[in-house]
Amino acid sequence: MSTVDARLSVFKTYKLYVGGKFPRSESGRVYEVTDSKSKWLANAPLASRKDARDAVVAARKAFGPWSGATAYNRGQILYRVAEMLEGRKEQFVREVAEAEGLSKSKAAAQVDAAIDRWVWYAGWTDKIAQVVGGGNPVAGPFFNLSTPEPTGVVTVIAPQESSFLGLVSVVAPVIATGNTAIVVASEKSPLPALSLGEVLATSDLPGGVVNVLSGRTAEIATPLAAHQDVNAIDLAGADDVLAKELEIAAADNLKRVLRPQPVDYAETPGIERMTAFLETKTVWHPTGSLGASGSSY
């Protein structure tokens, strides 16, 4: 009907997602995001180093409660993300198709896989400690237990090409174990990442656990790599030159660094993306004497 065709659609204003809120960049800058055929899609916020700083503050603030939440609770929330995504699938299919120049069916496969990945990691939250931790049979009167703990605030340079499945594949493992994340979205295709922020905000995920920044990857990532209150960095979306620079900067406070590597995001992941951002804490407790020399208590 012509009246419908004539209706002017409502554009979406894409915003950053920081500390559970949706700010514009403090710089007031935006940049044009286009599809694979250079057609304008939207203006995205061009985040500055100050936005990065704010994101670190938010992520640090969220780290205590999120890492202290029960693994069961984190699993429920990650599953909730999948539920929310399922309901907004069409939007993500469109955004991914436009961003990556995919057919609708191929984009849908990507989105389905991304949703399933949330479900996969939701199930990991209360199992990873059992798989990588455990008791150590030390030769002495001690009970000795090693448990994995989240590293802290993790900067995630999201993959540049796989704007949604790749994004989810690097963010979910970081937060599943209790870390909080500052995500630098794909520079060219940030819209699925920014939309993901909207989903996360309605998935019971506490504000600040995931913070999404869009803009020039190098400009945002450089201060984050050097930031003394960031504990780790995933360089998935950094090219070789940038990755090396960031790794050098990261050495200033000995961030844990996950270097970029070829990954087929369609495959079921291993646990390396989780263990890369886990610390092992080993606690020793005296038990009782081993010998029969009198009292053992």
Partner 1 sequence: MASVFEYAPAPESRSVVDIAPSYGLFIDGEFTDAADGRVFKSISPSTEEVLSEVAQAGEADVDRAVKAARKAFEKWSALPGSERAKYLFRIARIIQERSRELAVLETLDNGKPIKETRDADLPLVAAHFFYYAGWADKLEHAGFGASPRPLGVAGQVIPWNFPLLMLAWKIAPALATGNTVVLKPAETTPLSALFFADICRQAGLPKGVVNILPGYGDAGAALVGHEDVNKVAFTGSTAVGKEIARTVAGTRKKLTLELGGKGANIVFDDAPIDQAVEGIVTGIFFNQGQVCCAGSRLLVQESIRDELLDSLKRRLSTLRLGDPLDKNTDIGAINSAEQLARITALTEQGEAEGAERWSPACELPSSGYWFAPTLFTNVTQAHTIARDEIFGPVLSVLTFRTPDEAVAKANNSQYGLSAGIWTEKGSRILAVANKLRAGVVWSNTFNKFDPTSPFGGYKESGFGREGGRHGLEAYLAPSSPEGER
Partner 2 sequence: MPTTAPAAHALGDVTASDSTLRRFLHGLPGVDAVGLEARAASLGTRSIKTTAKAYAIDLAISMVDLTTLEGADTPGKVRALGVKAVHPDPTDRTTPTTAAVCVYPDMVAAAKEAVAGSGVKVASVATAFPAGRAALDVKLADVRDAVSAGADEVDMVIDRGAFLAGNYMKVYDEIVAVREALGSSARLKVIFETGELSTYDNIRRASWLGMLAGADFIKTSTGKVAVNATPANTLLMLEAVRDFRAQTGVQVGVKPAGGIRTSKDAIKFLVLVNETAGEDWLDNHWFRFGASSLLNDLLMQRQKLATGRYSGPDYVTVD
Q: In the complex, which residues of this chain contact partner 1 (CB under 8 A)?
A: 131-132, 136-140, 142, 144, 146, 151, 231, 240, 243-244, 247-248, 250-254, 256-257, 259, 261-264, 266-273, 275, 279-286
Per CB under 8 A, does 286 bind partner 2? Answer: yes
Between 262 and 291, name the residue whose CB sits nearer to partner 2: 291
Region binding partner 2 by CB under 8 A among candidate stretches 48-56, 151-159, 245-253, 283-291: 283-291
Q: What are phi and psi of 25, to 5 degrees?
A: -60, 140
H helix runs in 33-88, sequence order: 49-68, 71-87
DSSP state letters, 156-189: EE--SS-TTHHHHHHHHHHHHTT-EEEEE--SS-
Binding partner of residue 296 among partner 2, partner 1, none, CB cut-off 5 to 8 Å per kind: partner 2
Least distance to partner 1, CB of residue 150, Å? 10
Binding partner of residue 287 among partner 2, partner 1, none, CB cut-off 5 to 8 Å per kind: partner 2
Per CB under 8 A, does 288 bind partner 2? Answer: yes
Between 28 and 286, name the residue whose CB sits nearer to partner 2: 286
Q: Give the pair of three-digit tokens for residue 83.
A: 């539920």
Q: What are phi and psi of 143, to 5 degrees?
A: -100, 125
Q: What single-letter amino acid sits at 39? A: K
Between 261 and 293, name the residue whose CB sits nearer to partner 2: 293
Cα Rg, the chain, nearest whole Å: 21
| DSSP structural state of residue 253 | G
How many residues in the shown chain lie near partner 2 by CB under 8 A?
A: 13
Among 130, 141, 161, 239, binds partner 2 (CB under 8 A): 141
Q: Which of 148, 196, 205, 198 is nearest to 175 (CA)?
A: 205
Q: Give the pair of three-digit tokens for residue 129.
A: 């400690």
Binding partner of residue 289 among partner 2, partner 1, none, CB cut-off 5 to 8 Å per kind: partner 2
Q: What are phi and psi of 204, to 5 degrees?
A: 70, 5
Residues near partner 2, by CB under 8 A: 141-142, 286-289, 291-297
